Every structure is written in C-alpha cells, then in structure tokens.
C-alpha cells in the first residue's frame, strides 16, 4: 500500500456522475462520496464546497487510504467509512 501515501490536492474535482469528489493519489484515485462529506459537515454541500471540504480532510483521507484496499485503482470512501475512520467498514456492504 505504499502507493497510497500522498494525494495530489490540485487534482481534486467533483464528478457529477458518481456524486463524489475525486482526488488523484500515487497509483490510485480516491473517490469521496458527497453524502460522506455532507455527513461530516452536518449539512448539504454544493459541489465546490464538497471539493474544499475533501481537501481540508486530506490527512484523514490519507489515513483511510492506508487501511482500504483499492478496487481497480480506485478507493471509494463512503459515509460509513468516513464517519467510522474505516474501522468497521461500510454498513451497506454485503
């Protein structure tokens, strides 16, 4: 998992199709769900606010990246994962 130690914060962007903020890392892309960022902020966020919030949480995202395995070069962080610091996984997973 050494590839997932840094985020390129300048690459942060909102993807309307997946409703998530995408940030490039070393060899992976981190996708943070809009719902996860809204749960963290405890309010609705616009796409621009979501990008700023994700960049502001970069240290937490890097810590989560070290715990979560990438799936096809992408690490998806949902509300369940973000709010539990990745310890208990996503309650929606089967």
> pLDDT by residue (tens digit) across 11-57?
999 999 999 999 998 889 999 999 999 999 999 999 999 999 999 99
- Which domain, by its residues, includes 34? 2-82
CATH number for the domain that contains residue 12 = 3.30.160.140
Measure the CA–CA gap between 83 and 78, rounded to whole angstroms. Answer: 9
Helical spans, DSSP H, in the chain: 34-41, 47-56, 58-67, 79-83
Q: Is residue 73 part of a domain?
A: yes
Taking the whole predicted model, whether its pTM rises above 0.85 is answered as no
pLDDT at 3 over 50: no
User: Exposed/middle/buried for 71, CB within 10 Å: 0-12, 13-18, 19+?
Assistant: exposed
Q: Mean pLDDT, to the nearest integer, of 57-66?
A: 90
> pLDDT by residue (tens digit) across 44-58?
999 999 999 999 999
Q: Is residue 24 part of a domain?
A: yes
Beta-strand pair 74-77/7-15: unpaired
Query: Residues 32, 78: contact at Cβ < 8 Å?
Result: no
Q: Is residue 44 part of a domain?
A: yes
Q: Is residue 60 part of a domain?
A: yes
Task: Give me the number of domains the chain comprises.
Answer: 1
pLDDT at 70 over 80: yes
Phi, psi of 75 (to 5 degrees): -110, 120
């Amino acid at each position: 998992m050494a590839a997932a130690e840094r985020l390129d914060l300048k690459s942060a962007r909102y993807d309307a199709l997946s409703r998530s903020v995408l940030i490039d890392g070393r060899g992976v892309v981190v996708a943070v769900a809009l719902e996860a960022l809204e749960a963290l902020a405890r309010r609705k966020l616009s796409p621009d606010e979501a990008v700023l919030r994700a960049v502001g949480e970069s240290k937490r995202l890097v810590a989560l990246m070290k715990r979560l395995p990438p799936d096809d070069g992408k690490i998806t962080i949902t509300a369940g994962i973000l709010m539990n610091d990745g310890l208990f996984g996503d309650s929606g997973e089967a």
